[in-house]
Structure 1
Amino acid sequence: MTETATTIPHAPGATLSDPRVVRAIELLWHEADLLDRKEYQAWNELYAEDGIYVIPLDATTEDFDDQLNMVYDDARMRAMRVARLTEGYAIAAVDSARTVRTVSRFVPVETTDGSVSLRAAQVLIAYKRGRHQLWAGDVEFTVRFGADRSEDRIVRKVIRLVDSEEAVPAAGFLL
């Protein structure tokens, strides 16, 4: 059986009260807030230079290089995406949706002194032109700690949409 995001056990001994886990969750809540406020440059700065942001179409894959993905951004692609969303040349940026997201149901997967990996659930409501869209998925995060909180960085964010194998509407925003 292929191991999927839902079959990965939680980190032995790690709890949501572990200060490292709390620190990672606070960074991820900050990320969600920046995205809802469309502060894309500040959002991008939360990522490590080697960080990836992935939305695979196959919700069970771990092989992002050889599979079709809705999004597979490294530092260069994130910078290009942020430029499109902020420079006003893309129609999606000019008439972008207002969003409200909730990131919750955190489960520690791996905890070390230098990083924390978590699974979470995300629900995003996007509102544009009198219509609401719902986006929901399981999210995997890895946060690498710096010398202090201001240096903490996201090194991996994988969003496995619950309806990823269906026709996915265009998103003029980041999930």
Structure 2
Amino acid sequence: MMDNLNALFSQQTFARAIEFIWREAELLDRRDYRAWLDLWEPSGFYVVPIDPNTTDFAATLNYAYDDHDMREKRVQRMTSGYSASASDAARTVRTVSRFTLSSDSADLVEVKSSQIIIAYKRGVSTIFAADLAHKISVASGEPRLVEKVVRLIDSTEALSAIGFLL
């Protein structure tokens, strides 16, 4: 009986985590960066590593390694109208799929997935593909991002036009 309850809890938690990840993608596509900031635990990290195999993000070079303060500053730049990424921002459409539950507990769910982003800017469409890893706290009853790692499949190449949140 207890195994059935644990399985049901895991399935419900996994489904809620997937819905949360889809909501995050929608907010980013709509450029609703303030609402995106509200999804985060203050202690969380948004990471876009260059090295596709690194796990020590603090000790390696990253495209982004944002704590709360850096996420706020990034959003401020993107919404101020003073930076190129704000005044001429790409329109994006994200597809997130291939969800895998890495682990779950009563307080934290880890979900891996894949993401394809089509970014359209100045008549040119650019494709970005990545493996994602989300750590989502469910401790307060309201899901909150603890960590999001975006591993671009071409992260070691020269990348341009990534002036938006992945």
- Asked if 1:171 corresponds to 2:165, the answer is no
Q: CA RMSD in A?
A: 1.7
Change (3 A) 1:14 1:78: farther
TM-score for both structures, normalised by structure 2: 0.92
Q: Which residues in structure 2 correspond to 1:17-56 (within 5 Å)?
A: 18-56=11-49
Matched positions, count: 161
Maintained 8 Å contact 1:55/1:159: yes
Partner of 1:81: 74
Partner of 1:64: 57
Identity across matched positions, percent: 47
Instruction: Please list every run of 5 or more consecutive structure 2 residues that lacks an aligned counterpart in the other structure.
Output: 1-5
Partner of 1:7: none
Partner of 2:130: 137
Instruction: Please list every run of 5 or more consecutive structure 1 residues that lacks an aligned counterpart in the other structure.
Output: 1-12
User: 2 CA distance for matches of 1:85 and 1:125?
Assistant: 19
Partner of 1:155: 146
Maintained 8 Å contact 2:52/2:152: yes
- Report the secondary structure of 1:71's partner residue: strand
- Report the secondary structure of 1:116's partner residue: strand
- Asked if 1:106 corresponds to 2:99, the answer is yes
Maintained 8 Å contact 1:14/1:108: no
Change (3 A) 1:58 1:39: same
Change (3 A) 1:153 1:130: same
Partner of 1:8: none
TM-aligned CA deviation for residue 174 of structure 1: 0.5
Cα shift readout 1:87-121 (whole Å, capped 9, x = no counterpart): 11111100100000011100000011112101100
TM-score for both structures, normalised by structure 1: 0.88
Maintained 8 Å contact 1:122/1:138: yes
- Report the secondary structure of 2:27's partner residue: helix
Partner of 1:9: none
Maintained 8 Å contact 1:111/1:117: yes
- Report the secondary structure of 2:92's partner residue: strand
Runs of 4+ in 1 over 2 A off after TM superposition: none
Maintained 8 Å contact 1:141/1:154: yes
Change (3 A) 1:95 1:152: same
Partner of 1:120: 113
